């Protein structure tokens, strides 16, 4: 028998069997590739879900004397939980005599809801006896939420009436009566009618 037998020399029954076998192998390869792609997609989705890639993240920053024991990617803790991560550490310009290191971090949802204007602080704390440090944020005790997902616009009191749909606008800061300490309105309140009427 010659080492290479042309296909034309095969009997019709053998040709039919080979054709069926090729189709079966083709379907097996297609199903195997589809299962592999599905498994990889499922793994990536689960990893993204676990790491919070699909969650909203609020950005904050603080200053420290030194960044010893901290690095980009380290977790940020709140009440013992990892709720975010450090995304940037840079020294301040040489002429800045008050702050040495700039530390930017992000907090993922829903944990940024615990940070309020009164009581919430960021501090660098010792994490272990080997010199590792961690950035901790504390839960707020009052005031206002530190992060709201609304577009901001600075306007004078006189131009409030010119805002489109002014009845839907909310204040973003405390407003006091002149130079006094009497609080007129708080952040989140709708524009007072006295300004818009």
- Kindly report, residue by residue over 59-103, the tens digit of the pLDDT: 888 898 888 888 898 999 999 888 899 999 999 998 988 889 999
Give the domain extent around 45.
9-51
Closest alpha carbon to 87 in 59, 66, 115: 59
Q: Is residue 34 scored above 90 in pLDDT?
A: yes
Q: Do both 62 and 44 map to the same domain? A: no
Q: Do both 63 and 98 map to the same domain? A: yes
Mean pLDDT for all residues in the chain: 80
Q: Do both 111 and 175 map to the same domain? A: no
Structurally, how many domains does the chain consist of?
Answer: 3
Q: Is residue 31 scored above 90 in pLDDT?
A: yes
Q: Do both 173 and 135 map to the same domain? A: no
Q: Do both 83 and 123 map to the same domain? A: yes
Give 146's contacts (C-beta < 8 A, 6+ positions apart): 58, 60, 112, 115, 116, 117, 120, 140
Q: Do both 70 and 86 map to the same domain? A: yes
């Amino acid at each position: 028998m010659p080492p290479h037998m042309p296909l034309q020399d095969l009997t019709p029954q053998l040709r039919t069997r080979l054709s069926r076998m090729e189709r079966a192998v083709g379907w097996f390869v297609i199903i195997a590739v589809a299962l592999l792609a599905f498994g990889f997609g499922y793994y990536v989705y689960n990893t993204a879900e676990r790491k919070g890639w699909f969650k909203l993240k609020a950005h904050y920053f603080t200053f420290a004397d030194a960044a010893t024991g901290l690095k980009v990617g380290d977790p940020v803790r709140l009440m013992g939980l990892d709720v975010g991560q450090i995304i940037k550490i840079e020294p301040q310009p040489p002429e800045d005599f008050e702050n040495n290191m700039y530390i930017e971090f992000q907090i993922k949802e829903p944990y940024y809801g615990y940070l309020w204007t009164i009581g919430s602080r960021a501090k660098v704390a010792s994490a272990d006896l080997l010199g590792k440090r961690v950035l901790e944020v504390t839960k707020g005790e009052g005031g206002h939420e530190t992060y709201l997902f609304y577009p901001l616009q600075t306007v004078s009191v006189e131009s409030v009436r010119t805002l489109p749909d002014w009845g839907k606008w909310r204040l973003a800061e405390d407003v006091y009566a002149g130079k006094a300490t009497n609080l007129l309105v708080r952040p989140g309140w709708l524009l007072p009618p006295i300004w818009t009427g």
